[in-house]
Amino acid sequence: ADFDSKKKRKVAEIYQALNSDPIDVATLRRMAISEGGLLTDEIRCKVWPKLLSVNTDDLPPLPAGKELREDNKDYQQVLLDVRRSLRRFPPGMPDDQREGLQEELIDIILHVLKRNPQLHYYQGYHDIVVTFLLVVGDRLATALVEKLSTHHLRDFMDPTMDNTKHILNYLMPIIDQVNPDVHDFMQSAEVGTIFALSWLITWFGHVLSDFRHVVRLYDFFLACHPLMPIYFAAVIVLYREQEVLDCECDMASVHHLLSQIPQDLPYETLISRAGDLFVQFPPSELAREAAQQQAERTAASTFKDFELASVQQRPDTVLRQRFRERLRGEERTKSILTKPRTNRFVKLAVMGLTVALGAAALAVVKSALEWAPKFELQIFP
């Protein structure tokens, strides 16, 4: 009963925010992040557009599918992916209804691509679109997905995967801040971050079998900074600390373990933890390390980079062996770099408190409001 009254209060608060003039978007963001998210699909239809600032009074009519499909370079690939997407529809849905939705799914994707030639389709994009289609219907889904594709998902829709890889490079620095043991174990296993690629580019839609968990995460991601999914990925890895450390320390074993995502994750706990980590280690703080991950991988770590890193060192921290330079297949030269870790424990002592105070939610909201579509210019070195 207590849960029900809490839910009723939350619904009332959401509608109050929707009905205020101007609409109280900050409260809607907080509601989407806090426990239980937006609660029902009916509410999502009203709130998701506000989170993406999409005007629902002025939705463009949907184009006819036939003209979209003729001479569209992506049509065949989209068709294949959508045909394979059976398990993304609720079990027990009649075939003809599902097939109708699959046709709508193809049209939405082709429509967005046609209107935005700068965007490139990627496998996994349909996993995001189907979530919107099932929650808000085709017309609204088209408008929301278009906005999302030119903002949050923009980096995944480049002609190359460089920016996507760059976002993945934030994963290890986050893990390192919270749990150096897990980080070092993963580095020794040389597992990389590809196991989290499908999580990131589908907003976990592809890997979670329960639709309720997927939409709960979408509430969270829509209300937050575009890099939040990578924080959530880090939190899943950290939650599985024991399994990871008990694993054979080799690439195949660790990759296999991590790519199989447990279906019974404590979502609410992980969501608030991801919010906490975002507040404590914002992307701007991790940007240098993410760039360094990139340098390690592309073997472009020249003497100049090394010099630069030495300049930025703080002598008060413990020397730790850092990245292995790989220069054109020459033997690995191991360089010892230091890393400022002194305030880590102080920061972690604040964990948990921030959520209780709602500070995390507020800070996440604030950064989401300040974030502009050109965020790659600020974050990506």
Instruction: Report pLDDT for 154.
Output: 93
Give bridge partners of residue 325 from the DSSP assignment.
333
Per-residue pLDDT of the chain (381 residues; tens, 9 = 90+): 777 899 999 999 999 999 999 999 999 999 999 999 999 999 999 999 999 999 998 887 776 667 788 778 899 999 999 998 888 998 899 999 999 999 999 999 999 999 999 999 999 999 999 999 999 999 999 999 999 999 999 999 999 888 999 999 999 999 999 999 999 999 999 999 999 999 999 999 999 989 999 999 999 999 999 999 999 999 999 999 999 999 999 999 999 999 999 989 999 999 999 999 999 999 988 888 888 777 665 433 333 333 333 334 333 322 333 333 333 333 333 333 333 443 444 344 344 333 444 445 455 554 544 443 333 333 332
109 contacts 126 by C-beta, under 8 angstroms: yes
Q: Where do we find the tokens 């900050």?
A: 26
Please tell me the distance from the alpha carbon of residue 182 to that of residue 242, in angstroms, as a whole number: 9
**96 within 8 A of 126, measured Cβ to Cβ:** no
* 22 preceded by a cis bond (ω within 30 of 0): yes
Task: For 30-61, give the secondary structure using H, E and C.
Answer: HHHHCCCCCCCHHHHHHHHHHHCCCCHHHCCC
pTM of the predicted protein model = 0.78
Residues 78 and 110 sit within 8 Å (Cβ to Cβ) = yes
N residues, the chain = 381
- Cα gap 304→338, rounded to integer Å: 17
The full set of domains in the chain, from first to last, is 1-156 (1.10.8.1310), 161-312 (1.10.472.80)
Q: What is the pLDDT of residue 61?
A: 78
